[in-house]
Amino acid sequence: MSRRRQDPIAEHSDRLCEHMNGHPAIVLSYARYFGEYPDASSATIVAVDQDGFDITCQDNGEEREVRVTFGRSMHAVSQVKDAFMTLAREAETALRGNDPSGQGLMPDSPSPTLPHNLFDTILLLIALTIIYLDFFPNTTSPLLQWILETSLSDRASSALPTSYNGGLPSLSLAIHVYSSSLTLP
């Protein structure tokens, strides 16, 4: 009997490879960290067995092979999936180094980060709040009531260009504020 038939994970190798190759940034981090190819540009898992998995990667234009071991033999697919996650965390942490944001390492990682342009995001939220208050002025939220009670409408008509006057003043203000933020350097 060949080893492949005795290995309980080998029969699931194709499915596991397909699943993990759907997360290319994670596979690339395996090659960069465990294979010690920090300049690898792409990586693909080609086989999985009970003891580990094999990766081929492109490093400076050359194809390299990497063997990553789980540390112990796996007997169930669920154990392999857990091991993949543990190894991904280890590689991500090691490759991130002193960069706490981890930008660029694993774009499909669920690590929370702030939006790239926080100013535009804040302005968009303000514009959406103003639009909401135009259409739902009977809100029960104290903060939104306070905003509604301030004289946004009076200030809006004096601060807006003449092309925005008419219609809903606060909606016009929201559009003006957001569109002018897009032209800032």
- Mean per-residue pLDDT, 60-88: 93
The pTM score is: 0.52
Q: What pLDDT does 81 receive?
A: 92
Q: What pLDDT does 173 receive?
A: 54
Gap between the Cα atoms of 156 and 185, Å rounded? 24
Is 79's pLDDT higher than 60? yes
Domains and CATH numbers, the chain: 3-96 (3.20.180.10), 118-182 (no CATH)
Strand order through the sheet with 62-69:
40-48, 52-59, 62-69
- Mean per-residue pLDDT, 124-134: 78
More confident residue, 43 or 181: 43
Q: Which of 82-91, 94-103, 151-160 has the highest mean pLDDT?
A: 82-91
The pLDDT tens digits of the residues spanning 27-63 come to: 999 999 999 999 999 999 999 999 999 999 999 999 9
Q: How confident is the model at residue 77 (pLDDT cuts 50, 70, 90)?
A: very high
